Amino acid sequence: MPQITVDYSAPLADGFDRRGFVLALHDAVVEIAAAKYEACKTQFRATEDTTVGRDEDGHAIVHVTLGLLAGRTDETKARLTDAVLELLRRFVKPAEGLALHASAEVRDLDPSYRKFDG
């Protein structure tokens, strides 16, 4: 915990400072949600196909999902999603002609969540 997934349109790859973003993101998660650095795990997934409405061209999407153990208040979750969106503004520079659609959500991990480190 936290389990973080960043899905983004592949055309953003050159303009997305993923290393800078993830380090700042982990700082925010530790500060706002009282997580520990060693518990922050983030995966980036580039997606090849993006469609917004009926348009297959001219758009790029970044969506960040943060899964946390239950117990954070709605206010804490909102502060965290606001921080994520601000970080995306700083670290994602879409190519000319691409409209950026950025979103984030914080959700509680299911009580069945288990992990092991090996």
- Alpha-carbon distance of 57 to 15, in angstroms, equals 17
- Alpha-carbon distance of 4 to 77, in angstroms, equals 14
* Cα–Cα separations (whole angstroms), residue 109 to 10, 19, 32, 69, 114: 27, 25, 17, 5, 10
Reference 101, options 69, 64, 60, 71; nearest CA is: 60
Tell me the per-residue pLDDT of 19-62, one tens digit each, with 9 for 90 and over: 999 999 999 999 999 999 999 999 999 999 999 999 888 999 99
Q: How far apart are the first and last CA of the chain?
A: 15
- Alpha-carbon distance of 89 to 78, in angstroms, equals 17
Tell me the per-residue pLDDT of 56-91, one tens digit each, with 9 for 90 and over: 889 999 999 999 999 999 999 999 999 999 999 999
Q: Domains plus CATH for the chain?
A: 3-108 (3.30.429.10)
pLDDT of residue 116: 87
Amino acid at 93: K
Q: What is the pTM of this model?
A: 0.94
Answer yes or no: is pLDDT of 14 > 90: yes
pLDDT of residue 109: 95
pLDDT of residue 79: 98
pLDDT of residue 30: 98
